[in-house]
Structure 1
Amino acid sequence: MEDLPPPPSLAHLQGQGPVALFLDFDGTLVELAPTPDAITPPDDIARRIRALSDRLDGRVAVVTGRALDDLQKHTGPLSVARAGSHGSHCLSADDSILGDAPRELDSDVVSRLETFAAKEGFRFERKSHGAALHYRSDPSLEDKGLSFAQELASDAGLDLKRGKAVIELMHPGADKGSAVRAFMQTDIFAGATPVFVGDDVTDEDGFGAASDLGGFGVLVGEMRETAASHRLDGVTQVLDWLDL
């Protein structure tokens, strides 16, 4: 598999016209941790992201699998465009909603997933838009968790999303690509070249949408099959590229 080149500098891209940045959070702006709550974001990350947004005339959005209230718990108030819950909850920088807010899962589904997690050794996470099984502390749990979650998703008519040592259930109809498309239809983002930066398989939808709209994706981390056309080695390289 041939490696991908690093992206052109932001200064170069801006010299060619307006740029819109869509940034994943975990594994992209902050290093991954054994559990979602154990991350240690860079100091003053919210102010730094806002400064980046100001440099791009407001065309920066954080697009994460986390619920937005959980994201803010780790960053503090984040006064830029943002999409949580894998793109199903989009807010403009002024906190106005794009589309509908995410729906919670049925309580029976949550109960079944939580009971399974406790019995089999997964870490269970309840989210505003769904629920997740984490197994970073024991990767051998993957097949068992995937089998159970696939059956539960099929029974309940839900989407299953996979990430790095996480399996998540949520209502169908939204992904990170749909968030990119929603933001690109707003006055602030319209007409810019979209660039999506992310590390996980859930970011592939964002890469595809950015490409479809005339931009490109930037894969963060080790090389793999991807819709991205550029790559950066890790969080440090992302922060350097963004000049954060």
Structure 2
Amino acid sequence: MPLLPPPPSLLRDASLFLDFDGTLVPIAARPDSIEVPPSLLDLLAHLQKRLNGRLTLVSGRASADVLQWLKPLQVAVVGSHGLERAGTATDRPPALEKGIALLRAVAERHGGVLLEEKPLGAALHYREQPAAEEDCRAAAAEAAGLAGLQVQAGKMVFEIKPATGNKGSAVRLLMSEDAHRGARPLFIGDDLTDEHGFEAARELGGAGILVGPERDTAADYRLPDVGDVHHWLQTSVEALS
């Protein structure tokens, strides 16, 4: 049965967790070529105020990268698929550099493949070179094995990352903190990596909202695209006033 759009009332008494790429901003050919309109900063600031700070961005990007795009707005960010919290020191996997060297060789061999290095892992983006998918997949598997990490597949990307956490574990941790107690988690995301967030939100009495086309998902509702996410958030936050 097709998923319905979420009702505006869903935002009331919620702790809101938002993915970034593909949810708040359209996915671009390269991670550094996205566009963040001023209207999005205004919307996030309004949400943060109306939700009494219960707003967190949970992204595959490094947390510092997300914050750089959102300047001058200050908002809570958990990066690296739930493993890296802004303002908190994290230990870089000891063998990561060896894995990155393997990924770099693939990126150099295939024009258009981009290597994105992160504090706790690295990603091969092949959106501009779809023919390199299998080489990227194999290289990520080899690099993960070498560095003692796991492979996380996403939209036109293979990433190596620690296996110790994900977006769902980040939601569970945050919901145990005083600032979120008594609220219902609401997770909005588009990628396979967001499924962990949907599952955690449902487990804790909240809901997930899938962004994009229909698919097998743990989400409870769906919005077609980024523009619909902005419209729903704006409508919902106005309903709180």
- Whether these two folds match at TM > 0.5 is yes
Q: Give 2:4's aligned residue.
A: 5
- Give the Å deviation of 1:75: 1.4
Q: Which amino acid aligns with 1:107?
A: E
Q: Which amino acid aligns with 1:85?
A: S
Q: Which amino acid aligns with 2:128?
A: S
Q: Distance in 2 between matches of 1:102 and 1:139?
A: 33
1:39 pairs with one of 34, 39, 52: 34
C-alpha distance 113-14 of structure 1, shift in aligned 2 (>3 A): closer
Q: Give 1:101's aligned residue.
A: 90
Query: For the Cα contact (< 8 Å) 2:198–2:207, is it kept in 1?
Result: yes
Q: Is the partner of 2:81 in helix, strand or coil?
A: helix
Q: Distance in 2 between matches of 1:69 and 1:44?
A: 21
**Count, aligned residues:** 233
- Give the Å deviation of 1:14: 5.1
- Give the Å deviation of 1:170: 1.5
Q: Give 1:67's aligned residue.
A: 62
Q: Which amino acid aligns with 1:101?
A: T
- Residue deviations 1:69-109 (CA, integer Å, cap 9, x gap): 11122111442222111111124xxx5x4xx6252553222
Q: Distance in 1 between matches of 2:4 and 2:157?
A: 28
Query: For the Cα contact (< 8 Å) 1:206–1:217, is it kept in 2?
Result: yes
Query: For the Cα contact (< 8 Å) 2:184–2:205, is it kept in 1?
Result: yes
Aligned alpha-carbon RMSD (Å): 1.7
Q: Distance in 2 between matches of 1:13 and 1:5?
A: 13
Q: Give 2:117's aligned residue.
A: 126
- Structure 1 runs of 4+ with >6 Å offset: none
Q: Give 1:240's aligned residue.
A: 231
Q: Give 2:103's aligned residue.
A: 113
Query: For the Cα contact (< 8 Å) 1:89–1:102, is it kept in 2?
Result: no
Query: For the Cα contact (< 8 Å) 1:87–1:179, is it kept in 2?
Result: yes
Q: Distance in 2 between matches of 1:62 and 1:192?
A: 17
Q: Give 2:239's aligned residue.
A: none
TM-score (norm 1): 0.90
Structure 2 gap segments, 5+ residues each: 236-241
- Give the Å deviation of 1:26: 0.4
Q: Give 1:174's aligned residue.
A: 165
- Give the Å deviation of 1:13: 2.8
Query: For the Cα contact (< 8 Å) 1:103–1:171, is it kept in 2?
Result: no
Query: For the Cα contact (< 8 Å) 1:20–1:56, is it kept in 2?
Result: yes
- Residue deviations 1:106-132 (CA, integer Å, cap 9, x gap): 322211211122113321111122111
Match status 1:20 vs 2:10: no
Q: Give 2:182's aligned residue.
A: 191
- Give the Å deviation of 1:140: 2.2
TM-score (norm 2): 0.91
1:149 pairs with one of 136, 140, 146: 140
- Residue deviations 1:142-163 (CA, integer Å, cap 9, x gap): 1221122112212321011111
Structure 1 gap segments, 5+ residues each: none
Identity %: 44
Q: Distance in 1 between matches of 2:177 and 2:65?
A: 25
- Give the Å deviation of 1:33: 0.7
Q: Give 1:206's aligned residue.
A: 197
Query: For the Cα contact (< 8 Å) 1:134–1:165, is it kept in 2?
Result: yes
